[in-house]
Amino acid sequence: MTRIVRRRALLAATAASLALPFVARNGFAQDKYPKGPVKLVLGFAPGGITDILARLTAARLETALGTQVIVDNRPGAGGNIGAAAVARAAPDGYSLFFGALGTAVTNQFIYANMPFDTANDFVPVALVASVPNVLLVHKDVPAKTIQELVALAKAKPGQLTYGAAGLGSSTHLAMELLKTETGMQIENVPYKGSALLQQDLLAGRIPVAMDSISIHLPHIRSGAVRALGVTSPTRAPDLPDVPTIAEAAVPGYDAVVWLYVAAPAKTPPEIVKLLSDEIVKAVRSDEMQAKMRSVGALPMPGSAEELAKHIGVETTRWKKIVDAAGLKPE
């Protein structure tokens, strides 16, 4: 009897000793995640719609994870500075990146010296939302529809100009896509930001613009500028009477900025799944959807797998658009 007891004790001890290396390697089982604050790095300045959506996501993650989620704004280079910081961070789930279309897809075609490998330095976590842009004209421009604007541009080839905030930006590429699809001949005037673009549009110094909705909304409502179409597949919550470009002129047109969360490559899959599940659950909630729509965003919940597939499809699509626009890395 004593031998049997001793043998069982020995077997139990052996099993425990064999299990320890596995638990230690796994880490997730040994030390429940998270044990401290999580940082959500954002590649854009505070105050914009991307910042607002990042903070909404962080607040919901705080509740779900039971720990502080800190939004860390690191603007510059189209989001590349913030993305590079996360790419170099430890893959432990405590540094996450809140990115946009550019950092996942288009920046690699625009910037000659990318500070990170778009495809290999990150693991997708979740899709969050999309944000439509809007095609605008000054109130004195005779075009009342996109078709009339196309006709006006074709009647004056090379004479009509449009403004967009930055070469290779989502608004610039959205307009280049429209040019490709309609044959419209209109020249780009790049601006360093929406504020300067808005000033020139209101003054009539630039007749046409492609830009985010939020900054121009008061002037659209006052009649100082006219909205001809939004770039999303469905109408924008803030502009329910403005048609989509797809329904008004170009079937299938889609040029939204979509937002997502990623983690450094080699982050444990258990952590990625936990984060993905909680973010998707949050975005699907009625409360968060209402808050997103109130700031002009469209909820776009998607798992890590769905985000990975979306990035692949969008990379192929936008590479063709960039090539058609004749843009070269700088």
- Looking at residue 31, what is its pLDDT? 63
Q: Is 255 exposed, middle or buried (0-12, 13-18, 19+ CB in 10 A)?
A: buried
CA distance 249 to 147: 7
Mean pLDDT of 172-200: 91
In this structure, the answer to whether residues 98 and 152 fall within a common structural domain is no
Q: At 96, is the secondary structure helix, strand, or coil?
A: strand
Question: Between the CA of residue 258 and those of 8, 9, 53, 78, 140, what are the distances in Å?
Answer: 58, 57, 11, 14, 32
- Parent domain of 308: 38-130+257-325
In this structure, the answer to whether residues 303 and 267 fall within a common structural domain is yes
User: What is the tens place of the pLDDT at every residue in 25-37?
Assistant: 333 444 699 999 9
pLDDT band at 1 (very low <50, low <70, confident <90, very high): very low
CA distance 139 to 148: 14
Domain end marker among 248, 276, 301: 248
In this structure, the answer to whether residues 175 and 214 fall within a common structural domain is yes
E strand residue ranges, 20-121: 38-42, 69-73, 95-100
pLDDT band at 326 (very low <50, low <70, confident <90, very high): confident
In this structure, the answer to whether residues 237 and 180 fall within a common structural domain is yes
Domain end marker among 248, 281, 316: 248
User: What is the tens place of the pLDDT at every residue in 261-316?
Assistant: 999 999 999 999 999 999 999 999 999 999 999 888 999 999 999 999 999 999 99
Edge-to-edge strands of the sheet including 298-302?
A: 69-73, 38-42, 95-100, 257-264, 122-131, 298-302
In this structure, the answer to whether residues 144 and 242 fall within a common structural domain is yes
Confidence (pTM) = 0.82
CA distance 105 to 49: 19
User: What is the tens place of the pLDDT at every residue in 31-59?
Assistant: 699 999 999 999 988 888 899 999 999 99
CATH number at residue 288: 3.40.190.150
In this structure, the answer to whether residues 145 and 112 fall within a common structural domain is no
In this structure, the answer to whether residues 125 and 142 fall within a common structural domain is no
In this structure, the answer to whether residues 220 and 151 fall within a common structural domain is yes
**Total structural domains in the chain?**
2
In this structure, the answer to whether residues 137 and 242 fall within a common structural domain is yes
- Looking at residue 3, what is its pLDDT? 42
Domain end marker among 198, 231, 248: 248
Per the DSSP assignment, residues forming a β-bridge with 69 are 38
In this structure, the answer to whether residues 99 and 147 fall within a common structural domain is no
In this structure, the answer to whether residues 109 and 172 fall within a common structural domain is no
In this structure, the answer to whether residues 185 and 202 fall within a common structural domain is yes
